[in-house]
Amino acid sequence: MSLVSGPGRGMASLPAETRLVVDKHVRYIQSLDTRKDELEYWLTEHLRLNGLYWGMTALHLLGHPDALPREGILKFVFSCLHESGGFGAAPGHDAHMLYTCSAVQIIATLDAFDELEAHMEDGRRKIGQWIASLQDTATGTFAGDEWGEKDTRFLFNAFLSLSLMGLLDLVNVDKAVQHVNSCVNFDGAYGTSPGAESHSGQVYTCVGALTIAGRLDLVNQEKLGAWLSERQLKNGGLNGRPEKTEDVCYSWWVMSSLAMINKLHWIDGEKLTAFILGCQDPDLGGLSDRPGDMVDVFHTHFGIAGLSLLKYPGLAEVDPVYCMPRDVVQRCLRK
Amino acid sequence: MATHGITRAAGTAMRTEEARQQQLRDIDAYKELVDLVNTKITERQYTLEVLGLATKLLKQNPEYYTIWNHRRRVLNALFSGETADESSKHAVNDLLQNDLQLTFALLRQYPKCYWIWNHRNWLLETAELQQGADVGRQLWSGELLLVNKMLGADSRNFHAWSYRRSVTAQIERLTPRAEGQMTRSMTESEFDYTSNMVKSNLSNFSAWHHRSKIIPRLLNERDADTEARRALLDSELALICEAINTDPFDQSIWFYHQYLMTTLSPDCPSQDRIVLDLNNSDRQRYYENEMQYMREILEDEEDCKWIYEGLLFLAGAYLEFDNGTKIFTTADMRSWLEQLRRLDPLRRGRWEDLGRSLNL
C-alpha cells in the first residue's frame, strides 16, 4: 500500500480553481498505489508509511474515510512493525520515530488497537517502550532511532504517539519540556535544537509538544504570534522563515501553531484559502507546493488539513496538534 | 514525495512507449540492486564489496535511510576487524576518507537531505574514536571548509548552519588550551563570519540569528566591562539602522532590531543581556533615540509598515517607564496603528488585538 509517489498528470497553467475538487482529490489518492510502473514509486519507498498517513488522513478530512480499504491499510502497517516495537517506512526498512508516529496515527484513526494486540501481544506497550527508549535522559530530548540523531521533531513524534496510546507516563515529560524551552529564540519561535534558527516546522513540533504537556504558559504567545503572522506573503501563501518563498505545507505548520495559541485571526484566512485552492491540479486532483507545480500526497494532505483549519465548508474538522480528525483525537484522549 | 518547485508541465509530459520500456528496465535494475544489498546485509556480509554496492544505491537514492544504516553496520565491522598495526590504520583512514568524499559529493547535489548530514556527523565522531583526538581535531577543522562551501551555495541552508554550530563546538572541545586561556574559543571568528555574511546580504536572517546567539558569549569571553558592552550595543544599533535605511522593507533586519531592543528590557534574562547595568533612564534614552530615528526615515518611507510597527513596539516599551516627559502622544500611537491597518490588511486581526492591548 503506497500513496507516496506520483505527480498528477494534468495539463499545466489552468486558472486557479475557486472550489475544492473533492472527487478528484479522492481519485488521485486512490490512484497512488497503482503506479508501480513509475521509478518514482520505488525511489520513495522510504516514505510509504508516511504517505499512507498523509493520504488516508486527507481522505478522512475530505469526508471519504472508506475510499481506501481498512484491511489493506492495517495489513501494510503491521508488516512494517519490528519486534522491538518500532516501525520502518516499509517492510525491510529499519525502525524510526518518523514512521512509528505515522503508524500510531493510522492505527488510532482506524480505531485498530485491538487488531494491533491481535497482531503482536502487548503491542501497544511495546511501541510505547520503544519510543521511551529513545529519550536522552541527560537532556530530555529524543533520538529518531538507534543511530542517535536528535531533533525536536522526534520529541514531538514521541509525545504525540504516546499520548494517543495513553502512555505518556513512560517518559520524563518535565525534562523534555525543559529541552523544548531551551530551543526558543529571541523572536519567540523555535529551532531544531538549542541555538538553531527559528523555523515554522519546528515551531509546530515544539508548540505541539508543549500543548500536549499542558505547558503553553512557557510560550511567549504575543511574540510567537507576531513572527508566525509575518509568514503570510502578499499572494496569501505562507513561508517557513523570514525572506523565504511561500509553500502550501507551511499552511499547516504556521496555521496549526497559530491555532494552538488562539491567534489564527492574525492572518488573512480568505487569501490563504484562495492560495491553497490555486495549488490544486483541477484535472487530475492533488495539491502542489505552489500554483502550477507538480502535485504530491504530502502537499495534498497538508493543503487539505490547512483548509480544514480555515473551516472550508464540507471538510471534517482537523485537530491542530495531532493533524488528525478532531473526533478521533477526542476519542483517543478520553480513553 | 514532497516535490518542490517542479512545474506540473515538466512532470506530466506523456511518456512514449520507448520511454516507458526504459523506465521498466530502470525499475528492474534498481530493485535488483536493493534486493542484493538487503540480502547481503541479512547474511551479515559486511565486506568492501557490499560497501561498494551501498555506494551505488545511495548515489541513486540518498534518502534511503536504511541503506545508510547498513553502511554504518559494514563500516563498524570493518573498523573493529582491524588490529592496531600501521597498515590497518591506513585502511581505516581510507575507509573514512572514502565516505567523506562520498558525502561531500552527495551534499553538493542534495544539500537538504538529513540522512547525508547525519552520516557525515557520524563519520567525524567515529574518526575521532578510531584515530584519536589529534586526527579528530584536524578533521573537524576541515569541516569548516565544507560548511563555507555549502553556505556559499545557499546562505540560508539551516542544515549547514546547524552543522556549523556543531563543528565549532567540536573544534573548541578538541583544541588544547593555550597558557592562561580559559578555552580556545571560536566566538570571535564566528562573529566576524556573521559580519561578512550580513554585509554581503542584508536579508540573511540565518546570519542575523547566529549573531544574536554569539553576542552574549562574545562579551563574556572578552570579559567586557560596562563601557565595552555599551559600545557594542551602540555599534550594533548603528549597523542595523544603516541596514534599515538601505532596505526598510526587509523583515530580517527588523527582527534583528527587535532582538537588540529586547535585550534592553528588564524582563531579559541576564545571560542574554548586552549591557548588564541599564537603569530606566538609560532604557528610555535608547527608546527615544530609536523612535527619533524611525520618525526620520518615515519622512521618505511613509508606506513602510515596519516603521509603524517598530514605533508602536517602542512606544509600548517606553510607557513602562514613563516619567512624564513623553516624546509621543496617544494620538500619535493611534495614527501609527491606523497606518498599520491601512498598509497591512492581511494582519488586521493582529492590529485589532494590538489596539486593545495598548488601550488605543
Prediction ipTM score: 0.93
CB-based contact (8 Å) between B65 and chain A?
yes
> How many residues does this entry show for chain B?
360
Q: Indicate the helix (H) or strand (E) that contains A280.
A: none
CA distance A331 to chain B (A): 31
Q: Which residues of A touch B3 (CB under 8 A)?
A: 7, 288-289, 293-296, 299
What pLDDT shows up at residue B14? 65
Predicted confidence (pLDDT) at residue A21 exceeds the cutoff of 70: yes
Predicted confidence (pLDDT) at residue B205 exceeds the cutoff of 90: yes
Domain assignment present for residue A6? The answer is no
CA distance A12 to chain B (A): 5
CA distance A186 to chain B (A): 6
What pLDDT shows up at residue A3? 58
Residues 330-349 of chain B whose Cβ lies under 8 A from any Cβ of chain A: 345-349
What pLDDT shows up at residue B22? 92
Non-local CB neighbours of B338 within 8 Å, separated by 6+ positions = none
Write the DSSP assignment of B233-287 as a string of letters: HHHHHHHHHHHHHH-TT-HHHHHHHHHHHHTTSTTS-GGG-SSS---HHHHHHHH
Alpha carbons B198 and A140: distance in angstroms, whole number: 34
What pLDDT shows up at residue B176? 78
pLDDT in tens, A272-326: 999 999 999 999 999 999 999 999 999 999 999 999 999 999 999 999 999 999 9
CATH, residue A51: 1.50.10.20
pLDDT in tens, B315-338: 999 988 876 667 899 999 999 999
Predicted confidence (pLDDT) at residue A44 exceeds the cutoff of 90: yes
User: How confident is the model over B48-70, as a mean pLDDT?
Assistant: 97
Nearest CA in chain B to A258: B350
Nearest CA in chain A to B344: A234
CA distance B328 to chain A (A): 23
Predicted confidence (pLDDT) at residue B74 exceeds the cutoff of 50: yes
Pairing between β-strand A287-288 and β-strand A295-296 as defined by DSSP bridges:
antiparallel
User: Cβ contact (<8 Å) for A42 and B9?
Assistant: no
What pLDDT shows up at residue B182? 58
Alpha carbons B119 and B66: distance in angstroms, whole number: 12
> What is the maximum alpha-carbon separation in chain A?
54
Predicted confidence (pLDDT) at residue B85 exceeds the cutoff of 80: no
CB-based contact (8 Å) between B46 and chain A?
no
**Could you tell me the three cell numbers for A100?**
512509528
CA distance B227 to chain A (A): 24
Q: Which residues of A146-179 are buried (b: 16+ CB within 10 A; e: fewer)?
A: ebebbbbbbbbbbbbbbbbbebbebbebeebbeb
pLDDT in tens, A174-233: 999 999 999 999 999 999 999 999 999 999 999 999 999 999 999 999 999 999 999 999
Domain assignment present for residue A4? The answer is no
User: How confident is the model over B128-148, as a mean pLDDT?
Assistant: 94
Fill in the DSSP letter of residue B175.
S
User: Cβ contact (<8 Å) for B272 and A46?
Assistant: no
Predicted confidence (pLDDT) at residue B56 exceeds the cutoff of 70: yes
Name the class of domain B1-130: mainly alpha
User: Cβ contact (<8 Å) for A234 and B158?
Assistant: no
Residues 289-318 of chain B whose Cβ lies under 8 A from any Cβ of chain A: none
What pLDDT shows up at residue B321? 80
Helix (H, G, I), strand (E, B) or coil at A213: coil
Predicted confidence (pLDDT) at residue A47 exceeds the cutoff of 70: yes
Nearest CA in chain A to B71: A147
Domain assignment present for residue A63? The answer is yes
User: Cβ contact (<8 Å) for B347 and A229?
Assistant: yes
- Among B12, B206, B349, whose Cβ lies nearest the Cβ of A7? B12
Q: Which residues of B touch A268 (CB under 8 A)?
A: 345-348
pLDDT in tens, A78-126: 999 999 999 999 999 999 999 999 999 999 999 999 999 999 999 999 9
CB-based contact (8 Å) between A199 and chain B?
yes
Q: Which residues of A touch B26 (CB under 8 A)?
A: 39
Alpha carbons B203 and B156: distance in angstroms, whole number: 10
pLDDT in tens, B157-180: 999 999 999 999 999 999 877 666
Nearest CA in chain B to A196: B162
Predicted confidence (pLDDT) at residue A13 exceeds the cutoff of 60: no
Alpha helices in chain A (DSSP H): 22-31, 39-43, 48-61, 70-79, 97-109, 113-119, 123-132, 152-164, 173-181, 200-212, 221-229, 248-260, 269-277, 297-309, 326-334
- Select from A310, A305, A298 the least CA-distant residue to A55: A298
Strand partners, A184: A190
What pLDDT shows up at residue B90? 64
Q: Which domain range does residue A105 map to?
A: 22-333
Q: What is the mean pLDDT of chain B?
A: 92
User: Cβ contact (<8 Å) for B8 and A8?
Assistant: yes
CB-based contact (8 Å) between A214 and chain B?
no
Alpha helices in B43-64 (DSSP H): 48-60
Q: What is the mean pLDDT of chain A?
A: 94
Domain assignment present for residue A17? The answer is no
Q: Which residues of B touch A89 (CB under 8 A)?
A: 65-66
The residue that leads in pLDDT, B92 or A69, is A69
What pLDDT shows up at residue A2? 53
Nearest CA in chain A to B208: A197
Q: Integer distance in angstroms from the first to the last C-alpha of chain A?
A: 29
Cβ atoms within 10 Å, residue B82: 15
Total domains, chain A = 1
Alpha carbons B346 and A267: distance in angstroms, whole number: 6
User: How confident is the model over A146-172, as a mean pLDDT?
Assistant: 97
